[in-house]
Amino acid sequence: MVLSSAPETELPTTRELAEMVGTPYNHVSKAVLKLRQMGLVEAIRGRSGGVRISAAGKDATVGRVLRVLDDHNDVAECQTDMGECPLVHECGLRGALNHARESFYASLDNVSIYSLARKTTSGPTAVTLSTSRPC
């Protein structure tokens, strides 16, 4: 999203991206590598190089990206220190949770990452916070 909001001429380095989002450089460099492998960002080498969102990155949806990044086959962990759950082959929970995860991704299939960072507002929104309980 940070790269989506950056001007086309601006090429932040991975280190600068890490500072912008307040995340350790190692995490950001791994994320940039993965996004590059997915074709969503381009890395330009050299003294004036950096990272920018690719054309495919501008079209990528949140649902698609999350599906690729999700490295869990099962939502429910059916393995414990004691071994496999005795209901693992007859359990309906795993299927229900996997269906719910897919529904979650599907609800994000029409949301492009590029559009999220491009939202404009008419200015600041006033918010009143209180420590007292509502009546």
Name the band, by pLDDT with cuts 50, 70 and 90, for residue 2: confident
Identify the pLDDT of residue 125.
Answer: 54
Work out the number of other CB atoms within 10 angstroms of the CB of residue 1. Answer: 14
Distance of CA 46 to the CA centre of its chain: 27
pLDDT tens for 6-46 read 887 889 999 999 998 899 999 999 999 999 999 999 998 88
Q: Give mean pLDDT, residues 51-63.
A: 92
Q: Give mean pLDDT, residues 44-59.
A: 90
What is the rounded CA–CA span in Å between residue 116 and residue 120?
Answer: 10
Q: Are 110 and 66 in contact (CB under 8 A)?
A: no
Phi, psi of 107 (to 5 degrees): -70, -15
pLDDT tens for 85-114 read 777 777 888 888 889 999 999 999 999 988
What is the rounded CA–CA span in Å between residue 18 and residue 35?
Answer: 15
pLDDT tens for 109-128 read 999 988 887 655 545 555 55
